[in-house]
Structure 1
Amino acid sequence: MKGIATILVIAMYSTFVLADLPHYTTYKSFQTAFYECAEYYHVPNCTVRRYIEQSYPPEEEVRKLIRCTLINLGAWDDDNGVRDAVISNYFVPSPGDTCYERRTRECLDNMFYDCRNSRAYESFKCYYRYYGELITDDQFVPYAELELQQLALTSLTIAKLPYDVLVQYCKGDIVNEEHFPELLFVLLVRGGYYSTQNGWNLENMYTQLGDQILLDPYTQQCIDGVAKEKCNADEVSRLFATWQQCLGQYGPLIQQYVQNAAKTLVGDPDGCICTNSLYNGNWVI
């Protein structure tokens, strides 16, 4: 019996270590987000189930719940409207349907709405009617702006860089600094864009950035080429080389978040001078 128990423990441990860890990422289904919003607005579960069974009818409470749900999933903001790279993850087009994107776009271009709730609701209904089947799977929820900044700040803190490096970063001298590849590794793994088990997650990057180039076969071919070229390099070096050769167009964005985070840690956003620093020149364990 002891031998069987040991085997079971080893099997469970192996399953755990082979799976991607959650880190800072959130995965959520449309239905989960919908129920969460119902809780925010004190809508009973029986009513929520009715709304789902009736395919989200055009009632004012449903409009309010749909807007909340899309915000909850990072798929909507009132200034820019719906984010296709996010909401499309929750729908699967019918096999053989080659016109779903065009029909959805035409619906979005021609929809009528009279308030914020209606605009979000009508946008959702365009996808619901024309894009495909609404699925129940959890999907990656992109970070809001403040969450991206927190991701950079936490990653920078985890990396535990020397104070003079933080000063250098807050001045904008980042990408050529020797510690940056390790910091980039922490940030991308924690953010759900890279996994030590499965490598680059271009789908999550696309959901976050909405850049179609990330799903272009050329991008994956570039990544595979670097992996082959750097097969004997350590993982951090391989990741950094891939970033430079295949994903370098996103470098300025990452550097901006790192610079802002470094300014926060240094304590003087203007001059990067050791004034009221969180660390006072030393790391405290």
Structure 2
Amino acid sequence: MTVLVFGQTGQVAQELAKFDDVTCLDRSAADLTRPDECVAAIRSTGPTAVINAAAYTAVDRAEEEEALATLINAEAPAAMAQECAAMGIPFVSVSTDYVFDGSGQAAWKPDDKVNPLGAYGRTKLAGERGITRAKGCHGILRTSWVVSAHGNNFVKTMLRLGVERAELSIVADQIGGPTPARDIAAACISMAGVLAKDPNKSGIYHFAGAPNTSWAKFAREIFDQAGIQCDVNEIPSSDYPTPAQRPLNSRLDCSSLETSFGISRPDWRRGLSDILRDLEQHHE
């Protein structure tokens, strides 16, 4: 299987690049603000599967740049999916828990009612719908709280702030599953392989790390594993206002992914240990 990946610098894309027979395209090779370039890249490469790991992920800035976010998160993936459908190859795209409004405490199932709270969620939902409308072989993988040794994410922010301050105030009423980018990449590769053999498994699936936790408890685990002395004060989201509202409940029901693809939820604590080791080795 030869896989074409849209994205090169993002957390998931950098993990996908470690797999054999994977070609990752950066913006210079395929600008997602120009969907026709994405289509041309698929045609010229002739892959046996395509994975979209690129996205506009600046959640707060998207409130002011929704048109740009729509191009990248909705129109480009829809164009990719249409071309993959025409070529008869599987298309896998990473989506988000932000398509839900975060109400209640039950884990969200793939067919639950969507109701995004902000521009980022709206654009990702539009992308999902565009992919589905293409009616090709596809897998939409909604995930949450992505972390890795790459780029900007919660783990790296906590490591930086934890050594600078004696205590931090961290939101405790948002609950979800931190998800290592390495596991997301592996899930995408596996899904593409299965879909190539069984297109009937096309659809929307959920994938998040276990167990569910809060940002505050996640921070404590980061400090514990990293050996950092920093107290965590638990605060409500109302004490940390942001331009874009965050869902309080980001729990995801991942059972259908395990049933259809044999992919189970990864233990994010073990993934965190791997990330810390990667960062330490890179630092050395």
The two structures have a TM-score, normalised by structure 1, of 0.26
| Greater Cα radius of gyration, structure 1 or 2 | 1
Higher strand share: 2
Normalised TM-score (structure 2)? 0.26
More helix by share: 1
